[in-house]
Structure 1
Amino acid sequence: MNPARTLAMAGVTHSVLMEHLMADGNEAAAILVCAPSPGPRDRLVVRQAILVPHDACPVRKPDQIVWPGSYIEDAIEVAEPEGLVVVLIHSHPGGWLQFSRVDDESDHKVIPSIFEAFGHCHGSAIMTPDGAVRARLYYPDMTSRPVDLVTVAGDDVGLWWNDLIVDGVPAARPLAFSGGMTNELSRLAAAVVGVSGTGSIVSEQVARLGFGSVTLIDPDKVERKNLNRILNSTSKDADMGVAKVDMFAAAIADHRGDGVALGIADTLGTREAIETVGQCDVVFSCVDSKEGRMYADLIASAFLLPLFDVGVTIPTSGNEGKVSITDVCGRIDYVQPGGSTLSDRGVYTPEGLRAEHLRRVDPEAYRDELAAGYIKGIHEEAPSVITLNMRAGSALVTEFIARAFPYRHEPNRNYARSEFSLAACDEENYSEDEFQTKENPLLGRGAAEPLLGLPQFQLPKKAAA
């Protein structure tokens, strides 16, 4: 069953909490200010962590903490204007991932005071030395519901399931490529943006790996010129002008059944697409446009989603009228919220976005159109690139598996970007630390208006209210 309630945080936030809450073997406390996401799933994203200083707590022991209420007042001041959710978190240094009787009593004394100020939902959480987090949400009548899943998108993708915690001990993580991995994926939601050459290959893998739901986003229809590289497409689909997402959703239904795949036949730059992706657990970006990558980048930051982006190209050179291939290459980027973005890494730039817009509104710009294709410098209506796409698509999904079910000999942090050259039979990897990370005001913004901080998505005042 897919989780109804999820708490998501960035890896950088999780690291700060770990350092503070596990400082010295005594309990410590912090407050999470979280942004809600549009339903139907109740998905909270941690926007800010307010740390309660150790020396401000009159009592700190391995199994007890008393901390001043003034920090809750600070959190209320931050959260109330936007109707955000306040989650009180403290550590259990002994490693017991279970709410104690003392925790229950404390919540019933403290949380009603937050409801007196504002809100319809607030919560509490605990963290153990292994980084595991367990949370629950309270409602104004002080009934509570467990948070089904806590996710952390960092160098690794952390997943803690409430129903797999037995006697205060989380279940062991499933092995990569095992049936246990399949079982866990059946409870997660994936979004694939772009369902063409590379995207159809990624969608096929995601569906057959067993993701519980697969959201497909692409505005285009199947054409005969791309039948040689879009999996599951047929000449009938091309003749009928079937939307790529509808074609692929039907293919998934044939082997997975109805209700797994959702198709949105539009660009990612729409409110419906943005809000739907914000409900997912992981995003695979397989677009061939800078604007599409920009939206995926912004969504990952706002909704704290792990983002996996792929690009392929075949550069050429010309000499005396003869064109030759100089390389056949691909790029895989893993973007963790709070780390370097695709923008930070130069995957798209303001200049590139502007040039792309001009090319879109001026279809006669033939020279620019050439630069937009697979083979740089040659206009190919139906490039034979399915083998290259297979290589890149497999690397993209395998990168996700390496993050969620770690198996590498080296830390995943060393593989923020991977580039391969089939011409040189070579692969290079780049660490997260090799990229400059700029301040990111979108981090943990959630569905706050205007959506993604962009004026074009601002709801009219009446609708926003």
Structure 2
Amino acid sequence: MVHQGVNPRASGWSVTAPPRLWADLQQHLFQDDRDEHGAVILAGQADGPRGHRLLARELLIAEDNVDYVAGTIGYRALRPEFVRDAALRARAEQLAYLAVHSHFGTTSVSFSPIDLASHERGYPALRKITKQIVGGLVFTPRAGAGDLWLPDGTRDTLAEVVIPGGNLLRLAPSPVPVEASDARHDRQARLFGDRGQQAFTRMRVAVVGLGGVGSIVTELLARLGVGHLVLIDADTIDETNLPRLIAADLDDVDARKTELAVRNARRANPGTKLTVINEEAQHPDARQAIATCDWIFLAADTNAARHWVDRTVHQYLIPATQAGVKIPVDEAGVIGRIHVAIRQLIPGSGCMWCNGLINPTELALDMLPSHVRQQARYVDDIPAPSVIALNSLAASEAVNHFMLAVTNLHTDSGEHSLLRFPRSGRQICQQSRRDPTCGTCSDHGVLARGTAA
């Protein structure tokens, strides 16, 4: 199994690769011929929860015996013309240049002395050409290591490589040390293992929207042992909210929803670190906070929240889960198809724009100042029905997916999105559509651009 969990040594640099790019790279590097193969990754940059992140945006495959040829010193090398073209592209796009090759092995990998000597000969010159980070990556199917040369003249190693798919894969240079789980989480660790439980403790997770679904998600994440929660909501509690907010009482009326979420999280897990943002999802503070997380839960139903979380997923390669409940009731009181929606947002896969889940007119209204927003609407919003038992279905399904993904317990690494219809018991699995020219999730848009977008 791939090294589960967050590497405790991962406090420096990491590389995150979209599942599509990683699948293409794996297919090229680990062919049946068991020979060495090469490529170049061009990557954006961003800050992450434990250090600096490189975001794999583009994969340049080095064709065997054409671009990746017999070396004059080492076994194989990238052809100089291929290196030149990739370096010039990195400079033009303001992206890091990362040369990639494969090694034999399983759970550990490192550069050979010949590899490191070639870096010392070539990377200072490449760094001058690109004016960006340059470096090398070496992989086995279960491990990854990196040697990074930074623009300021310093040099650093890579702590881990992250692939945020249906299972959240993390590749380290060698197996990650495991700490014994806290006694409080003994029963969970019997499922996840100490390594899996350790993963939750070291994660930073955002919950955007702390209403009926978000309040339950917060409680479940705290009890699961997530080490740092970022809680985002601008609303206050009114009397009609009380039946669907976990542990709310009459004294909470007019309090902020974040205050209740903080109280519940601390009661559930006193060791959880909390960051509180009393703003809507479109506020710069909220957008900056979610861009430095390991995972995002989207439990707010505004088009602005959908847009900015969706953009963050692809721009910063951060996985997210949207969870919600729809209870349609017409003017005559006729109840329509109640459904619970769980959508996994995978970096580089179909975004919410591609799947028609963001209304551009409503988004424009959401982005107006709050005191202007209601005046700009033609009709008043009518509160939708909401029931805690239905909300709990959405929250539980969303957190179940998260915990299985983090601990690599999903039986496949594909998308896990679904619609559940409680009145009939029917369930439909969904697969996101992707427009290859999309400005959000494609190579033509902000995908993996990080802070440069």
What range describes the TM-score normalised by the shorter chain of this pair? 0.7 to 0.9
Higher relative contact order (CA 8 A, sep 6+): 2
- CA contact 1:43–1:279 (8 Å) conserved in 2: no
- Cα 1:141–1:285 change in 2 (3 A) is closer
Q: CA deviation at 1:99?
A: 2.1
What is the deviation of 1:197? 1.1
Is residue 59 of structure 1 aligned with residue 105 of structure 2? Answer: no
Partner of 2:79: 68
* Runs (5+) with no aligned partner, structure 1: 167-173, 376-382, 450-465
In structure 2, relative to structure 1, the CA distance for the partners of 1:175 and 1:133 (3 Å cut) is: farther
Residue 343 of structure 1, CA deviation: 1.7
2:221 to 192, 200, 206: 206
Corresponding residue number in structure 2 for 1:100: 112
Does structure 1 residue 391 correspond to structure 2 residue 399? no
Structure 1 residues 264 and 357: CA distance shift in structure 2, 3 A: closer
Q: Taking structure 2 as the reference length, what is the TM-score of the superposition?
A: 0.83
Deviation of the 1:108 alpha carbon: 1.6
Alignment partner of 1:148: what SS? strand
Which runs of structure 2 are paired with 1:36-47 in the superposition (5 Å)?
36-38=45-47, 41-47=51-57
Superposed counterparts of 1:199-278, under 5 Å: 199-239=214-254, 241=255, 243-257=256-270, 260-278=273-291
Following superposition, the deviation at residue 176 of structure 1 comes to 5.4
Structure-2 residue corresponding to 1:138: 149
User: 1:292-342: CA deviations, max 9, x gaps?
Assistant: 111111110100111211121112246xx5x24233321111121111112
CA drift at 1:444? 0.6
CA distance in 1, matches of 2:226, 2:196: 10
Residues 35-59 of structure 1: per-residue CA shift (max 9 Å, x gap):
1114773122112222222122331
Q: Distance in 2 between matches of 1:76 and 1:25?
A: 28
Are 2:47 and 1:34 aligned?
Answer: no
Which letter does structure 1 place at the counterpart of 2:208? V
In 2: Cα distance, 1:395 partner to 1:44 partner: 31
- Does the 8 Å CA contact 2:343/2:418 hold for their aligned counterparts? yes
Could you tell me which amino acid in structure 2 is paired with residue 189 of structure 1? R
Query: In the alignment, is residue 307 of structure 1 matched against residue 311 of structure 2?
Result: no
Change over 3 Å in CA distance of 1:420–1:361 after alignment to 2: same
User: 1:351: Cα distance to partner?
Assistant: 4.6
> Is structure 2 residue 150 aligned with structure 1 residue 150?
no
What whole-Å deviation, never above 9, does each CA across 1:160-191 have from its counterpart, x for those lacking one? 2446359xxxxxxx985444321112122211
Among candidates 342, 352, 359, match of residue 352 of structure 2: 342
Matched with 2:309 is: 296
For residues 339 and 328 of structure 2, the distance between their equivalents in structure 1, rounded to whole angstroms, comes to: 8
Cα shift at 1:356: 6.0
| 1:109 aligns to 2:121 (yes or no) | yes
Contact 2:67–2:82 under 8 Å retained in 1: no
Amino acid of the structure 1 residue aligned with 2:138: I
- Give the conservation status (yes or no) of the 8 Å contact 1:57–1:68: yes
Amino acid at match of 2:144: V
Q: Check 1:267–1:125 CA distance in 2 against 1; reply closer, same or farther (3 A cut).
A: same
Query: Structure 2: which amino acid aligns with 1:200?
Result: S
Specify the alignment match of 2:419 in structure 1: 419
d(CA) in 2 for partners of 1:73 and 1:178? 46
Alpha-carbon distance in 1 for matches of 2:36, 2:290: 37
Whether 2:432 is the aligned partner of 1:443: answer: no
**Closer, same or farther: CA 79–236 of 1 in aligned 2, 3 Å:** farther
Identity %: 23
SS at match of 1:203: helix
Q: Kindly tell me: are residues 258 and 153 of structure 1, through their superposed partners in 2, closer, same or farther at Cα, counting changes over 3 Å?
A: closer
CA shift digits 1:89-132 (9 cap, x unpaired): 1111444522222222222222211233354743321121x254
Q: Residue 431 of structure 1 aligns with which residue?
A: 431
In structure 2, C-alpha distance between the alignment counterparts of 1:304 and 1:337, rounded to whole Å: 5
Residues 11-26 of structure 1 mapped to structure 2, 5 A cutoff: 11-23=19-31, 24-26=33-35
Could you tell me whether the CA contact under 8 Å between 2:340 and 2:420 is conserved in 1?
A: yes
Contact 1:135–1:150 (8 Å) recurs in 2: no
Q: 50-59 or 230-239, which moves further after superposition?
A: 230-239
Separation in structure 2 between the aligned mates of residue 436 and residue 36 of structure 1, nearest angstrom: 24
1:6 aligns with 2:21: no
| Residues 1:152 and 1:68: Cα distance change in structure 2 (over 3 Å) | same
Is the CA contact 1:125–1:135 (under 8 Å) kept in the aligned structure 2? yes
Aligned-partner Cα distance in 1 for 2:176–2:196 = 17
Given residue 236 of structure 1, which amino acid in structure 2 is its aligned partner? D
1:333 aligns with 2:330: no
Separation in 2, partners of 1:287, 1:139: 39
Partners of 1:76 and 1:43 in 2: how far apart? 20
Q: Which moved more, 1:393-402 or 1:243-252?
A: 243-252
Structure 1 residues 346 and 131 mapped into 2: Cα distance closer, same or farther (>3 Å)?
A: farther
Over aligned residues, Cα RMSD in angstroms? 3.0
2:381 partner SS: helix
Output the amino acid matched with 1:160: L
- Return 33-42 or 174-183, whichever deviates more: 174-183
